[in-house]
């Protein structure tokens, strides 16, 4: 599903315009991004939890040359699905 398809579904389901649904989706993603940037978790009960995970620095290999290279430590976003979302996918 693309972003446009999601906006169309949100619009039809909520009975609002596509512009309003697009604005709501943008506001949601901005709020989640801002919270994760601060290191906070975002929990949506029965849907899932967005959080930030720390990845340690490690050594990798260049697949073309086989030469070892250092991959720096990083903070990465993580999503854990909730109980209802897992059940809906089964």
Q: What rounded mean pLDDT belongs to the chain?
A: 96
Could you tell me which residues come within 8 angstroms of residue 83 by beta carbon, excluding any fewer than 6 positions away?
46
Backbone angles phi, psi at 81, to 5 degrees: -70, 145
Write out pLDDT tens, residues 44-83.
999 999 999 999 999 999 999 999 999 999 999 999 999 9
Q: How far apart are the first and last CA of the chain?
A: 18
pLDDT score recorded for residue 90? 86
Backbone angles phi, psi at 49, to 5 degrees: -130, 130
Domain 42-90 has CATH 3.40.228.10: no
pLDDT band at 32 (very low <50, low <70, confident <90, very high): very high
Could you tell me which residues come within 8 angstroms of residue 78 by beta carbon, excluding any fewer than 6 positions away?
50, 51, 52, 53
Q: Taking 90 as the threshold, does the pLDDT of residue 11 lie above it?
A: yes
Domain boundaries, the chain: 1-40, 42-90
> What's the pTM?
0.80
């Amino acid at each position: 599903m693309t972003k446009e398809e999601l906006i169309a579904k949100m619009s039809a389901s909520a009975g609002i315009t596509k512009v309003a649904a697009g604005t709501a989706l943008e506001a949601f993603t901005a709020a989640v991004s801002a919270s994760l940037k601060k290191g906070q978790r975002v929990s949506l009960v029965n849907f899932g939890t967005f959080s930030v995970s720390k990845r340690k620095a490690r050594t990798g290999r260049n697949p073309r040359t086989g030469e070892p290279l250092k991959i720096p430590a990083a903070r990465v976003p993580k999503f854990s699905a909730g109980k209802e979302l897992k059940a809906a996918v089964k």
